[in-house]
Homo-oligomer: A and B are copies of this chain.
Amino acid sequence: MISQTAEYALRAVVWLASRPDEAFTAQALAVHIHVPAGYLAKVMNALVRARLLVSQRGRNGGFRLRDEASGISVLDIVDAVDPIRRIQSCPLGLTTHGLRLCSLHRRLDQAVAMVRKAFGGTTVGALLAESSSSPILCERRARRPARRAPARSTGR
């Protein structure tokens, strides 16, 4: 129901939110969240442009969340990369319909509105809080100690 791009973006942000003291390059992140690195790099740049992430250069550089996980909703992330758009007017551009939707598109729009509301009401912080009862993300276990993972910063 959401695009592959949106799914990748969600995984990336949830992963970063779960490790707020670390920065990850797209390549390092790609391994953990099962996403092709080239594709992920584009997704990460879109998330930076949407001001959800910051990208830090340098030896311990990489991507981090810009703000607290509690301030980022699932909808923010989806909308940053592949928005689920409301149907505001006849999608076929029929001038006779103008801003009035037909029955079918009105119902489809209601479903879009419902999903946007659900996603807008779910923060990444809430997903983290749920993780005591289930894994927070479908992630691959690192094969080598996290301490040696590339682009991991030590301090901030």
- Residues of chain A whose beta carbon lies under 8 Å from any beta carbon of chain B: 1-2, 7, 10-11, 14, 34, 74, 84, 90-92, 94, 96-97, 100-108, 110-112, 114-115, 118-119, 122, 127-128, 130-131, 134-141
Contact = CB atoms under 8 A, between A and B. Distances in A.
Contacts of A140: 92, 94
19 contacts: A1-B108, A1-B111, A10-B104, A14-B104, A34-B92, A94-B139, A94-B140, A102-B131, A102-B135, A102-B138, A103-B127, A103-B134, A104-B127, A105-B138, A106-B130, A106-B134, A111-B118, A114-B114, A114-B118
Contact of A138 (B90, B137, B138, B141): B90
Contacts of A100: 134-135
Most chain B CB within a 10 A radius of its CB, from A101, A115, A138: A138
Contacts of A134: 100-103, 106
B107 A1 contact: no
A107 B34 contact: no
Contacts of A2: 108
Contacts of A118: 107, 110-111, 114
A70 B130 CA distance: 41
Contacts of A139: 94, 102
Query: 3 nearest interchain CB pairs?
Result: A92-B138, A103-B130, A103-B127
Given A105-B138, A106-B134, 10 more contacts: A1-B1, A96-B135, A100-B135, A102-B136, A102-B137, A103-B136, A104-B127, A104-B138, A107-B118, A111-B115
